[in-house]
Amino acid sequence: MTLPDYWFLAIGFLFTGYFVLDGFDFGVGMLMPILGRKRNHPDAEQRRRVLLNTIGPVWDGNEVWLITAGAAMFAAFPVWYATVFSGFYLVLLAILVGLIVRVCAIEWRGKIDDPRWRGWADVGIGLGSWIPAFAWGLVFANIVHGVHIDGRGRMTSDVWDLLNPYGLLGGVALLGLFLLHGAVFVALKSDGDVRVDARRFAARIWLPVTVIGAAFVVWTQFAHGKGWTWAMVALAAAALIAAGLSIRADRELAAFLSTSLAVIGVSVLLFGALFPNVLNATDPARSISIEAAASSHYTLVVMSWCTVVLLPLVMIYQAWSYIVFRRRISTAQIPPSIGLSPRA
């Protein structure tokens, strides 16, 4: 394996980690109004706080996987980073606005003890979860499917080109997968009514999510897949079926591991289908290959040493933080709001 190939793998790993970890964060954000009941329900606020606090201590660290994946693209494949980030300008702008609003909404939600304040925060969390969950699917589906690239290597697809059937299916499939992943995560991390409702919701959306996910995976495989990526199709399918069975058997950990594997399967399939290119073009001659996009040998060597040393360390302390906060949360454990009173 050449060094650029190794780096393609490393970036695939970082994005896969991002999808698995921030995937359930998005799921939880999308579920806030659904599992949190209607706003005027007496129990709604406590339930929403249970949902939010299942990801409370870890969501910020999960999001850094994206930042590091982006920076690693910049370092290892500057041409890839520059072309994709400028080419998908408006989609990334939407993702950024979503993520910005989500960060502030989560952190500031409890600062003022006022239903209207919290209502707006919930809108922010919703925007910051629905938009990126769909948009990442749209972006990666189009990267694999092929975009317009001009003679100077610039991506010229506009937003309407990106909203093609395959791109839209990718967006919906990833969004559905994150929704299921999030519901299963809530079932694993909460107790009481929320846990029961999360499990019920997961069981209800399991079939449509599986069907849409299967359609996307199969389309990807037939249009762009290689021989070995059939294994990822099989993995994603088996994981989704296992998730369905585990949800029905009330085995939440197994269900969560299954949805995680399904996300991994889809992500590896997309990167596998893309290989050996980093960006497919509608005119295959203009596709950008790993070799053409890669940094110099020395840069890749330096970066390799850094990741080999640092990434395991990061994974160890992130795992530790999950262990520290491993306990389930129920509405009874949510402390009273310590926000300040609403005031002009």
Partner 1 sequence: MTALDIARWQFGMTTVMHFILVPLTIGLAPMVAAMQTAWLITGKNAWLKATNFFGKLFLINFALGVATGLVQEFQFGMAWSEYSKFVGDVFGAPLALEGLVAFFMESTFIGLWIFGWTRLPRLVHLGCIWMVALGVNASAFFIIAANSWMQHPVGATFNPEKNRAELTSIWSVLTNSTALAAFPHTVFGAWLTAGTFVAAIGGWWMVRGMRRGDADAIELAHSFRPVTRFGLGVMIVSAVGLGITGDAQAKLMFEQQPMKMASAESLCHTETAASFSILTVGTHNNCESVQHLIQVPYLTSFLANGDPNSTLKGVTELQQEYVEKFGPGDYRPNLFVSYWAFRFMMGWSVGSGVLALAGLWVTRKGRVPSSKWFSRLCLIALPTPFLANSCGWVFTEMGRQPWVVAPNPNGDPTIRLMVSQAVSGHSTAMMAFSIITFAAVYGVLYILWFLLLRRYVIQGPDLHSPLDGHDDHDDGAPPGGDGPDGADGTGAKKSSSDQLSFAY
Taking CB under 8 A as the criterion, which residues in 82-101 touch partner 1? Answer: 82-86, 89-90, 92-93, 96-97, 99-101
If we measure between CA atoms, which residue out of 273, 91, 267 comes closest to residue 168?
91
CB of residue 138 vs partner 1: minimum separation in angstroms? 16
Contact flag: residue 237 with partner 1 (CB under 8 A): no
Interacting residue with partner 1 among 3, 9, 34, 79 (CB under 8 A): 79
Q: Which of residues 290-319 bind partner 1 (CB under 8 A)?
A: 295-296, 298-299, 302-303, 306-307, 310-311, 314, 317-318
Give the residue with the Cβ less far from partner 1, 142 or 210: 142
CB of residue 262 vs partner 1: minimum separation in angstroms? 25
Give the residue with the Cβ less far from partner 1, 79 or 203: 79
Interacting residue with partner 1 among 111, 148, 251, 286 (CB under 8 A): 111
Burial (Cβ within 10 Å: 0-12, 13-18, ≥19) of residue 83 = buried
If we measure between CA atoms, which residue out of 133, 137, 125 comes closest to residue 169?
137
End-to-end CA distance of the chain: 63
Contact flag: residue 163 with partner 1 (CB under 8 A): no
Q: Which of residues 45-64 bind partner 1 (CB under 8 A)?
A: 49, 52-53, 56-61, 63-64
Q: Which of residues 263-282 bind partner 1 (CB under 8 A)?
A: none
